[in-house]
């Protein structure tokens, strides 16, 4: 099957295929994780852990299989898909090693930059972004550095590639910090965000170059909804660092490929992004590395306030869905205002919860 599908099938077929495949492969992944010791044991305490019994990690393996088995069946293997798959495979391998050996955050960050550079080297980049003021676009295609490699002329778009590199790595880490705290939280958030990108790309379906983006985004969404029955409370498996890294990586790349709608993804993931941004500032202000975890995220504060794990997940799903619907109808300037509004809401909620905890 390639591009001879009906337009609606561009979304429906990969969504269902990826969901069913992930639903089938997740129990096998649980057995794999238990057999090879890819477990998260709360007896080896970390301040941010909130589960009470050993739980398999490695959920990223299940979602990876669901996404890329579907993508390789429905899409031609061009250089973009090859680059995206290689980068994701690097992240999966690093994540599984982290699930087993708990790698240092600095080693993980290095591998994330390496993985993010792969699709950029294969041609994925940001030539321009919409001007938040609504006045045209910001051109990132210059300066360019041209050189010879193996007899071929190569060109590096410096600003474009740097923007894409840091955008991908930022989304990976901020999603990991701000949307992976409780059972089911990340799966639902990623599924909704990917569906938003799929629907957005579907509105440009008259342009055939958008069809692969719809298919890949639908596969990402389907895979995470297929994973959700095993990840929701009480979770039977965790996404692990592989799950959050591959998910953030793919969402960031999809936001670049879908006519460069990075602002749309920023709005949809507004709550975890703002929470993670505040966390970075808070840790730096206290003289700590931003990459070492703590129990100061919004989801931790909600739990301490009396929310159940399921309620925290529903809270994140609900807000992400509302922001996704809003983002589909917005131009650049309203998206910027919406992000400001989300920032005020999240920071205000954090301050209120902090005050209530003290009193």
Question: If you ran DSSP here, which 8-state letter would residue 134 be given?
Answer: S
d(CA 126, CA 230): 36
Phi, psi of 139 (to 5 degrees): -80, 120
d(CA 98, CA 241): 7
Q: Tell me what pLDDT residue 7 has.
A: 67
Q: Tell me what pLDDT residue 205 has.
A: 65
Domain spans of the chain, in order of start:
9-126+159-358
Q: What interhelical angle do 105-121 and 79-101 show, nearest 10?
A: 170
- Condensed to tens digits (0 to 9), the pLDDT of residues 243-260 reads 999 999 999 999 998 765
- Whether omega before 46 lies within 30 degrees of 0, making that bond cis, reads no
Residue 136 backbone zone (phi > 0: left; psi -120 to 50: alpha; other: beta): left
d(CA 183, CA 228): 9
Q: Tell me what pLDDT residue 123 has.
A: 87
Joined together, the tokens standing for residue 190 give 């990623």
- Condensed to tens digits (0 to 9), the pLDDT of residues 161-202 reads 999 999 999 999 999 999 998 999 999 999 999 999 999 888
For tokens 């295609």, the residue is 141
d(CA 60, CA 52): 21
Distances (CA, A) of 208 to 9, 11, 202, 205: 14, 14, 10, 6
d(CA 54, CA 145): 51
| Cβ-proximal residues to 318 (8 Å cutoff; 6+ apart), any chain | none
Q: Which residues of the chain fall below pLDDT 70?
A: 1-7, 43-52, 131, 133-136, 147-154, 205-207, 259-260, 358-359
Strand partners, 148: 153
Q: Say if strands 144-149 and 55-56 run parallel, antiparallel, or are unpaired.
A: unpaired
d(CA 214, CA 3): 11
Q: Tell me what pLDDT residue 228 has.
A: 98
Cβ–Cβ under 8 Å, residues 237 and 56:
yes
SS3 content of the chain, % helix, strand, coil (to 5): 65, 5, 25
Q: Tell me what pLDDT residue 356 has.
A: 74
DSSP-derived secondary structure for 295-351: S-SHHHHHHHTT--HHHHHHHHHHHHHHHHHHHTT--HHHHHHHHHHHHHHHHHHHH
Q: Tell me what pLDDT residue 359 has.
A: 63
Q: What interhelical angle do 59-74 and 240-257 show, nearest 10?
A: 30
Q: Tell me what pLDDT residue 15 has.
A: 97
- Name the strand (E) or helix (H) holding 56: strand 55-56
Joined together, the tokens standing for residue 147 give 């050189």
Nearest of 196, 211, 215 to residue 324 by alpha carbon: 196
Joined together, the tokens standing for residue 28 give 């096998």
The CB-side HSE value for 304 (13 A sphere, CA atoms) comes to 17
Nearest of 267, 324, 281, 274 to residue 299 by alpha carbon: 274
């Amino acid at each position: 099957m390639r591009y001879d599908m009906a337009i609606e099938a561009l979304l429906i077929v990969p969504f269902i295929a990826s969901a069913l495949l992930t639903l089938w492969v997740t129990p096998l992944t649980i057995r794999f994780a238990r057999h090879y010791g890819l477990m998260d044991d709360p007896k080896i305490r970390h301040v941010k852990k909130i589960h009470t019994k050993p739980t398999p990690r490695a959920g990223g393996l299940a979602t990876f299989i669901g996404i890329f088995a579907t993508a390789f069946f429905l899409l031609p293997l061009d250089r973009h898909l090859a680059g995206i798959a290689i980068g994701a495979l690097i992240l999966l391998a690093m994540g599984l090693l982290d699930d087993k050996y708990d790698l240092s955050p600095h080693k993980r960050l290095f591998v994330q930059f390496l993985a993010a550079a792969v699709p950029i080297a294969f041609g994925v980049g940001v030539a321009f972004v919409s001007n938040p003021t609504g006045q045209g676009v910001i051109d990132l295609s210059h300066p360019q550095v041209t050189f010879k490699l193996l007899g071929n002329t190569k060109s590096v778009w410096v600003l474009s590639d740097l923007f894409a590199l840091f955008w991908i790595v930022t989304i990976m880490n901020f999603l990991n910090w701000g949307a992976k705290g409780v059972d089911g939280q990340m799966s639902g958030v990623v599924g909704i965000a990917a569906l938003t990108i799929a629907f957005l790309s579907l509105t440009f379906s008259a342009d055939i170059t958008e069809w692969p983006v719809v298919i890949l985004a639908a596969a990402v969404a389907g895979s995470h909804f297929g994973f959700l029955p095993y990840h929701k409370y009480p979770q039977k498996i965790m996404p692990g660092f592989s799950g959050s890294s591959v998910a953030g990586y793919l969402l960031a790349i999809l936001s670049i490929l879908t006519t460069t709608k990075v602002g749309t993804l920023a709005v949809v993931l507004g709550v975890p992004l703002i929470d993670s941004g505040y966390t970075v500032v808070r840790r730096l202000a206290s003289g700590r590395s931003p990459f070492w975890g703590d129990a100061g995220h919004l989801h931790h504060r909600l739990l301490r306030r009396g929310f159940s794990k399921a309620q925290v997940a529903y809270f994140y799903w609900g807000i992400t869905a509302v922001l996704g619907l809003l983002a589909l109808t917005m131009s650049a300037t309203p998206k910027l205002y919406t992000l400001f509004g989300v920032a005020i809401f999240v920071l205000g909620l954090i301050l209120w919860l902090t005050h209530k905890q003290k009193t």
